[in-house]
Amino acid sequence: MKWRSLAEAVPRTEARPLREILAERKERIAQYVPAETQAVHARVVEDIRKQGIAERALTVGAAAPEFELADQNGKPVRSAELLSHGRLVISFFRGRWCPFCVGQMEAMNVIATQIHDAKAAFVAISPQTAHQAFLMADQHELRFPLLSDTGNAVARAFGLTYRVPDEQQQLYRRTFVNLPFVNGDPSWELPIPATYVVTPDRTISWASIDPDYTHRPEPTEILRRLA
């Protein structure tokens, strides 16, 4: 489960456009993954769009649900505590098995200090277990909390969840993406990727929600929203 850029470089100290990182990964997938497999994933993304999940999810102006989740070290993290000190950036992602999630988390890691300097906090939420979150944080040297949303309870409160279709489940099983094991949950549910900026009164001031898991907001855009 080691996903990095084509260069396999040492940890970056300068921000690189996330779109370039994700484009490289899409190129590798197009080169090595069978076309019929890619077609299944594309159909799932289109089906999620048709379901209108992104349109029904919480967005700007809504009140963000409160939550308390364990981080990668098993420590409880409360949104109310974080918001008592300033704004909160929240990214929902699928898991450490997803190369696009890894790319996003590594890119966010580069700007973690700048988020802190903007008097904001950053957390990333996925349905994977705290142990899987620990492995991800350790492998990719992430410097922010990876929160374990067991059963997608928080993602569901934000309106982001969907069930992985049977056809895609079969593909994941064949490529050793065992979601019931990784998530400690047999539901085969995932969140669509989403990033929020939340103000201390719990109001969502900015949101990026996209059913296409290969698209993620640029970290520089998030910093602009915090400026």
Q: Could you give the maximum distance between any two Cα atoms of the chain, in Å?
A: 49
pLDDT score at 6: 34
Of 3-17, 36-50, 64-78, 158-172, which gets the smallest average pLDDT?
3-17
Which of 15, 181, 18 lies closest to 95, judged by CA? 181
Read off the pLDDT of residues 81-139 as tens digits, 9 standing for 90 and up. 999 999 999 999 999 999 999 999 999 999 999 999 999 999 999 999 999 999 999 99
Burial of 132: CB neighbours in 10 Å, binned 0-12, 13-18, 19+: buried
3-class DSSP state of 63: strand
Gap between the Cα atoms of 115 and 109, Å rounded: 10
Q: Decide if 9 contacts 84 (C-beta within 8 A).
A: no
Rounded to whole angstroms, the Cα distance separating 115 from 222 reads: 9
**Residue 152 in tokens:** 């997608």
The domain segmentation of the chain, as residue ranges, is 18-226
Amino acid found at 6: L
10 pLDDT above the threshold of 70 = no
d(CA 198, CA 203): 6
H/E element holding 161?
A: strand 161-163
pLDDT number for residue 16: 82
**pLDDT above 90 as % of the chain:** 93
Q: Which residues of 199-227 are buried (b: 16+ CB within 10 A; e: fewer)?
A: eeeeebebbbbbbbbbebbebeebbebbe
> Pairing mode, if any, of strands 161-163 and 189-191?
antiparallel
Closest CA to 95 of 61, 133, 58: 133
Instruction: Say what the pTM is.
Output: 0.92
Provide the CATH topology of domain 18-226: Glutaredoxin (3.40.30)
Residue 2 CB coordination number (10 Å): 9
C-alpha Rg value of the chain to the nearest Å = 17
Q: Is the dihedral of CA 18, 217, 145, 97 positive or negative?
A: negative
DSSP helix/strand/coil, 174: helix
Could you give the CA distance from residue 12 to residue 114 in angstroms, rounded to a whole number? 14
The count of C-alpha atoms lying within 13 angstroms of the C-alpha of 26, restricted to the half-sphere facing its C-beta, is 13
Write down the pLDDT at residue 15. Answer: 63
Per the CB < 8 A criterion, the answer to whether 160 and 191 are in contact is: yes
